[in-house]
Structure 1
């Protein structure tokens, strides 16, 4: 297949080329296909193009859509994603398209609040970003076993940053739009929108007639109000998702959460208690009165959050939940948190580091 430069415009012609590439890969690739979906514009574009390819080829291949629900996603975005999934399931049935939707979630012991309030982890910083592995990377890995040959479709695009372009080039292969997955040779990354501009992406979503489940108007409004999305498969060394992205509403890696702030300014007042809690947690993290003076391994340095600090954090979180009327923490998390508190209260080694105050 030859790529025609004039096919770059209009977007319908560029999409026709992409759909043709995807269709050929779909029929030739014996691997299972997994689409990494975050709810944002890029992954939505990939999803739309793949589903259109499935509709046209009438392939009986089952494609799995994977979404990572960290438990602390911005509620509006999370609600939008689940609405898309509910509608998409019915829409695909009408066209006999085989898709299965899987939601990856962190293990109970790895959730944000169990780690912070239960174990006493300080909320993430740029130097101690423990959240990425536990909330995003590990849950996805659990769905993609190391010994399984799969093709993962991602909404990766060139031109977003010099660092991103360098990484893309480094992991390119001879296959069209195919890239190597770091650390797992059984995974082939397929990025059909690698050459799309931001405008191409929005034009695709605006003019796509299928699937209707991806609501261009709703998604566009979310972007106008907040910013961009956090990738479903996150690079642990990449920039934090809280800066101009649909990331975790609890993110304290960045100084300010621009996404939630902008959403509140656009009238989503029920998010204000969440932002208030997040801003308080950002300051509380480095408050020496809230931290043990030794680490759990008894080495000197700021250690875990004290039990009293953790009790205060849970109290403030439940207050935010009550005021916002948004479910922020599950009962299972609270039960495990209380078990971990009890364990620390009965641990001589922990009581030793807490008494260092």
Structure 2
């Protein structure tokens, strides 16, 4: 008589605040909990540093999963067409498929850090029938304030990229706000340049493949445009009653100031 397959319990880490808090929250609640991070090879150095610190807090290794081919290989296959919120081929090829290979056909509970104060949130995750999503924060009423408390009490705090960025994910993520592209330009100019060089324009058709709809990174990095973006963002921030003028960006981004880039992000990337 064959034995029943072992049910696995996995937290998919993104390097973001919510999945980090979830890993810490579940650490002593679920035995044999596995932690995985789908490493695209296109992450920020701050993300890798944060994951190293998290391993110390958890007292357990985080399994790094890699795609079969690097991002630029797939970019060539897609003939230079950059991923966007509709296609999301980067998430599928670099995150979801490596995770599904790691899981195989094992029955898995995949724990996702959507909070109780955002149950409406949608996203892009695996749909394999053997991978069952679980939402402990929703079930237990955990809100953003609770997440911040978990991170503070554990000693890990927020990742350093919150100084200029609101979410985890690849340095060229198309879900970034314009102010975050400006932050990348200032903090990691070499990565900004790499992202810029991936943009293309078809001189015959006039069609452009850019990370931001209607604007190239070459246009965005113009000093006048940078000033305009920073000024506009500061006005938007101060219009929020709970945010005082000149509040550090790390605190601003912790309250999720969004712009026109959309909110239905890839959960395996951005929690």
TM (norm. structure 2) is 0.62
CA distance in 2, matches of 1:159, 1:69: 28
CA distance in 2, matches of 1:272, 1:107: 28
Question: SS state of the match for residue 246, structure 1?
Answer: coil
Question: Alpha carbon RMSD of aligned pairs, Å?
Answer: 3.3
Alignment match of 1:277 (pick from 190, 194, 198)? 194
* Correspondences of 1:94-113 after superposition (within 5 Å): 99-108=60-69, 111-113=70-72
CA distance in 2, matches of 1:66, 1:144: 11
1:197 is aligned to 143
Question: Is the aligned partner of 1:133 residue 2:92?
Answer: yes
CA distance in 2, matches of 1:41, 1:65: 15
What is the CA distance between 1:149 and its match in structure 2? 1.4
Change (3 A) 1:263 1:161: farther
What is the CA distance between 1:42 and its match in structure 2? 0.9
Alignment match of 2:183 (pick from 239, 254, 262)? 262
Could you list the per-position Cα deviations for residues 307-339 of structure 1 after superposition, in whole angstroms to 9, with x for gaps in the alignment? xxxxxxxxxxxxxxxxxxxxxxxxxxxxxxxxx
CA distance in 2, matches of 1:127, 1:187: 23
Given that residues 42 and 156 in structure 1 are in contact (C-alpha distance below 8 angstroms), is that contact kept between their aligned partners in structure 2?
A: yes
TM (norm. structure 1) is 0.48
Find runs of 4+ consecutive structure 1 residues off by over 6 angstroms. Answer: none
Could you list the per-position Cα deviations for residues 203-245 of structure 1 after superposition, in whole angstroms to 9, with x for gaps in the alignment? 122123xxx5xx21xx254324311xxxxxxxxxxxxxxxxx2
What is the CA distance between 1:161 and its match in structure 2? 6.8
Change (3 A) 1:112 1:191: same
Please say which structure displays the higher CA radius of gyration: 1
What is the CA distance between 1:189 and its match in structure 2? 2.4
Question: SS state of the match for residue 278, structure 1?
Answer: helix
Structure 2 unaligned segments of length 5 or more: list them.
1-5, 210-271
Given that residues 36 and 65 in structure 1 are in contact (C-alpha distance below 8 angstroms), is that contact kept between their aligned partners in structure 2?
A: yes
Count of aligned pairs: 201
